[in-house]
Amino acid sequence: MMELDVQDRGGLLRVTLPGDTLDAGNTHDFKRAMEPLLLPGLRLVLDLSRVRFVDSSGCGALLWCLRRLHTGEGAMKLGGVEPRVAELFGISRLDRQIDTFATAAEAVAAFDR
C-alpha cells in the first residue's frame, strides 16, 4: 500500500505522494490510499513535488480523485508540478480540469483567495 504524507490543515488536506512516478505500476495503490481521504466538502492539495513522471494511468487516477471530490462538493488543486509533468498535463489538457501550481504552498494559498 502506498504511504501518503497527509497534513490536515482544518478542512484542507495536503497530501504528498511518496515516489517519483504516478503510473500504471502504482495507480491502484494510489487510489486505494486516497479513497478514505476523499470526504464530502474536502479541499485537497496533492503535492507532486517528488513526482517526475506521470503516464496516462496517473492522469486517470488524478481525474478519478477530482470526480470523487466534485460529487461531494469538494475541490482539488495540484502543487509542486515540475515542468516536464506540467507539459504532459498541458498536452493531455488535464491542466484545464485541475488547477496546477509550481509549488504546494501556492496551491494551498489559492484556496484562501
Nearest to 15 by CA among 43, 61, 46: 46
Query: For helices 27-34 and 56-71, what crossing angle results, to 10°?
Result: 20
30 sits in which H/E element: helix 27-34
Q: Could you tell me the sign of the dihedral formed by the alpha carbons of 34, 87, 55, 4, in that order? A: negative
DSSP secondary-structure letter at 6?
E
| Distance separating alpha carbons of residues 68 and 106, to the nearest angstrom | 23
Q: Each residue of 18-38: pLDDT tens digit?
A: 999 999 999 999 999 999 999
Asked whether the predicted pLDDT for residue 88 surpasses 90, the reply is yes
- On average, the pLDDT of the chain sits at 95
CATH number of the domain at 5-112, out of 3.30.750.24, 3.40.1800.10, 3.30.70.580, 3.40.1440.60?
3.30.750.24
Annotated domain spans of the chain: 5-112
Asked whether the predicted pLDDT for residue 11 surpasses 90, the reply is no
